[in-house]
Chain A
């Protein structure tokens, strides 16, 4: 093995190892105002991985991602909800079981939509998924016992064997290396674990037979059918996988904000997920994660930092306040990234491989793939 091969082989696991360790240490050095941004971003990243499987690898445009996230979030709230509560319906299941069930329900919701998906492609599918968002919005507003109606409903914290992994129960105190670990810090580790699992699972699916089948279906349905791939089944699989990932993202969102309402899962949210996978690079798992962190964390971070910028108008006045400037900067950055890197953030990490090592084929650029 040559020196160069050796270093390139070592670079990836070492980088991943360092990244994981750094992420593990974050709550020790940064307080909840940072970690909560991380929790929201990691939840979004898991959901975005789902969308990149569907829209990037399987080529199915979906604007219903927020609706599937809502299914996961509300299903968790319902399964874990207190039984016999006067306002909301609940089954009172252990939260961990409720979370798993919620993801299963989200997957089933994806399966239920797959007959439609199997008959439509591209923009036509995209438009029909908008319908799903409207149906979901209507259900969220009208099934008041289940969803809390327009007001929304509160969410039980995640517990495992009586130990709270989220929420803010002051009687559950935990201190690690002198740092108090509250609900946000604990949820950080839950999110990190789930994100790693999601990345590994997605990478394994996409690089193995099912992933190759999805890509072939995307590129040429007839060729795929001729190869013996069941096109309908491949498309249904993509929808189930994607909505199950969305379900995990939805549950994490519900846990992080302790409360869910219909406004958290509207069409705008679906659009921002589409933005995440496009910014990250369609079809790339790492890109989806980067895109999600970018889209989710940037406005929150800008909002956080903009407080310390002196020349802005004070909040509550009519001028360019910190919040307004944060939105403008965010918009400009999104446009700049799309223009500068049409293949997404993922391409930043690919440049070093411009001259591919012997025996490796260059991967086709995802942006040029049609939906």
Chain B
């Protein structure tokens, strides 16, 4: 009996001590909401002299090399903006986190940075974006998603730059037919990877093939597939006259190296993430140079538009040694430009809160990204900011790609619905 009383007493003393300690100073209401700094209204990530933007990317696991060049593009933009006095009289600063494609890590990092950043200028990875989506919506966090999946559309807070994969494929198949590389009644093969990128591309390719009287032969492969010879044999057996590829660069290399040995000397049309300049150092280089084209809405690294020149000049300054330039630096630069335009507009309105930046982002109906993209229209969250594509050809230059022809959009898009 006595023992129990003492136990209870010990516990209650402990509880009382702790509760009384609790009385003094909790972290009651963090600063942020509704304050104002200087002449504009602000909430998160904005002080009198800096605007902090978040970068959450996978620098080390799946998309390491790609993410580093995208981030280089972000930095080139920030250097340019800061040299010109910043936005709203405030310098741009990045809070950079490596989420390693781990949703757990990403959630922790997001919770850590969300009160310190105005928006996310670079968020990469489908699982990461899906996992953070409810919080991004609740926090009204203006976000630039890296990638062109149509799955990212439909959220006012999240901006996707350029043409989504499905529309790229429609344009791409149209291009093959228009160029006379494939004719009505022929079969067209598609190697695409499981997941939103490949499946989104497949939706568009299948639709376009149907409309243009082509037989569509789609083969889904695992994102980590190291052997696609069965799929390639199936394409050979179907007698395809062109191959679409929506996978990682490794599988693109497999397609390009196996096609000649199967007697498939046909055009290979790939999406932007499926290409890497290192393909030109691989045994498949000859086929890549001869047959491979990229369909995307973004210009290559090499070129002489204003934006391309700025990236070429700035790349060496911001990139580590050993990081080779790729087209994707343009995504970082253009993505930051778009968010920057929204912040500028919000500043002119005297309201630099997140909600205001999101609202102004959705008022941008013709953003000029210095020629990296065609004019981008963000007014409708549910539709892509562009519907045009451009054809790039593998070339032995910086970035490994050169532009052939101008931007175009297939009339078939009108009847397309996801």
Residues of A at the B interface (CB closer than 8 Å) are: 1, 6, 9-10, 13-14, 16-18, 21-22, 25, 28-33, 35-37, 40, 141, 149-152, 154, 157, 167-170, 175, 177-180, 184, 253, 256-259, 261, 263-264, 299-300, 303-304, 314-319, 321-324
Contact = CB atoms under 8 A, between A and B. Distances in A.
B14 interface: yes
Given A33-B112, A151-B196, A316-B68, A264 B103 contact: yes
A306 to B, nearest CB: 10
B305 interface: no
A258 B135 CA distance: 9
A100 to B, nearest CB: 23
Contact of B127 (A10, A28, A157, A259): A259
A269 B307 CA distance: 44
Contacts, number: 163
Interface in B282-309: none
Given A6-B6, A261-B103, A25 B22 contact: yes
30 contacts: A1-B3, A9-B3, A10-B10, A14-B13, A21-B15, A21-B18, A25-B21, A25-B22, A28-B26, A31-B27, A32-B114, A40-B104, A150-B195, A151-B130, A154-B130, A154-B134, A178-B29, A179-B26, A257-B103, A257-B131, A258-B107, A258-B131, A263-B101, A300-B104, A315-B98, A316-B59, A316-B98, A318-B320, A318-B322, A319-B320
Contacts of B13: 14
Contact of A28 (B27, B30, B137): B27
A326 to B, nearest CB: 10
A18 B29 contact: no
A286 B416 CA distance: 58
A323 B10 contact: no
B111 A31 contact: yes
Given A152-B127, A314-B96, A318-B320, A300 B67 contact: no
A333 B232 CA distance: 47
B370 interface: no
Nearest to A313: B320
A10 B133 contact: no
Interface in B133-161: 133-135, 137-139, 151
Contacts of A149: 194-195
Nearest to A301: B108
A16 B320 CA distance: 51
A157 B131 CA distance: 12
B207 interface: no
B138 A170 contact: yes
A14 B196 contact: no
B105 interface: yes
Interface residues of B, number: 62
A132 B103 CA distance: 23
Given A17-B11, A21-B15, A316-B55, A168 B108 contact: no
Q: Chain B binding site: helix, strand, loop or mixed by DSSP?
A: helix
A10, A180, A316, A322: which has the most chain B beta carbons within 10 Å?
A316
Which one of A141, A261, A299 has the highest number of Cβ atoms from chain B below 10 Å of its Cβ?
A261
B60 interface: yes
Contact of A256 (B14, B19, B107, B196): B107
Contacts of B59: 315-316, 321, 323
A18 B17 CA distance: 9
B22 A303 contact: no
A42 to B, nearest CB: 13
A152 B102 CA distance: 13
A315 B113 CA distance: 14
B83 to A, nearest CB: 19
Contacts of B97: 315
Nearest to B129: A259
Nearest to A28: B26
Nearest to B195: A150
A149 B101 CA distance: 17
A25 to B, nearest CB: 5
Contact of B14 (A21, A170, A175, A300): A21
Contacts of B151: 151
Given A9-B6, A303-B109, 10 more contacts: A9-B7, A14-B10, A28-B26, A36-B111, A150-B195, A151-B196, A258-B135, A315-B59, A316-B59, A324-B60
A315 B107 contact: no
B378 interface: no
Contact of A300 (B101, B108, B131): B108
Contacts of B320: 317-319
B215 interface: no
Contacts of A177: 22, 26, 28
